[in-house]
Amino acid sequence: MKLTKEQINDIKDQQSQENVTKRVTAPELEKVLYEAMPALDHGFIRVIDYMGDDSSIVQSARVSYGKGTKQVSTDSGLIKYLMRHWHSTPFEMCEIKYHVKLPIFIARQWIRHRTANVNEYSARYSILDKEFYLPDVRNLAAQSIANRQGRGDVIEGEQAKEVLELLKNDAERTYDNYETMLNQKFDGSTIDENKKGLARELARMNLTLNTYTQWYWKTDLLNLMNFLRLRADHHAQYEIRVYADIMMDTLKRWVPITYDAFMDYRVGGTEVSAKGKAIIQKLLKGEEINLEQSGLSKREWNELMEAFKITDKIV
């Protein structure tokens, strides 16, 4: 990830601010506020602003005047209770705003989480950066046979080189055409004084999806956790998972008590259906039960057995 001198100076200016506030702050999150944390080859995530902390959740749950109790253990117990019993509203009282630079194809996947306020870089107003995402060879994989939206074995050798060359050449060629249609280079210089440039809103349409875009993404804590539960999961696409992992660290810095409860009950826990619960109860009693008797599909059965590490019954 490369930042321009102007971007570096902007970040330094933001970080040098000293504001007095009566609001609660998260000291560990303050340490990385405005910092550009690298993601992929040219991307980054920055925490721009936030509101509230763990005590805000407790305060909201109790509808009290001040911060939570002076005993952290008591606040922790309440937050765990809220998380455990899916009492979600108090978590909506905290908000966070990120500045994200990411490839367009990841942005289109990300925006499917329709639970945030988003303002994206306007390619109608400005020229997009000449930066493209090119995967590391370790992340070039064939289509999975078992999963229609997943990856299979890693592509290696000459085929990997060929794929990377195609990605690079296509991105550079379409960007060159983009500049030609605009009649303007990325640095602002004009290509041909005798030609008119095509409108930016039209010229942008031939750019490849690995071109980088940027946006401000603001969401509340509840919806952030819902996003991370899906996108930081090992089943998620690698590229969006890179961003989610960075955001997981900011979550831990921001609301450490909530983070622990989230990791325990959402990330590390598992949901079990009524049929699944009955099956586990029978197995605990030493009763024999198999897929045919369970009333579950093969996929449901295997997911249940994997969740409880009952590997000898996976079919």
Q: Which of 286, 223, 238, 231 lies closest to 97 in space, CA to CA?
A: 223
Residues 6+ apart with CB under 8 A from 105: 209, 210
Selecting among 46, 200, 231, 253, the annotated active-site residue is: 231
Is 231 noted as a catalytic residue in this protein?
Answer: yes
Q: Which of 242, 233, 219 lies closest to 267 in space, CA to CA?
A: 233
Place of tokens 């449901």: 300
Q: Which of 36, 37, 33, 75 lies closest to 54 in space, CA to CA?
A: 75
* 47/30 Cα distance (integer angstroms): 9
Catalytic residues: 231
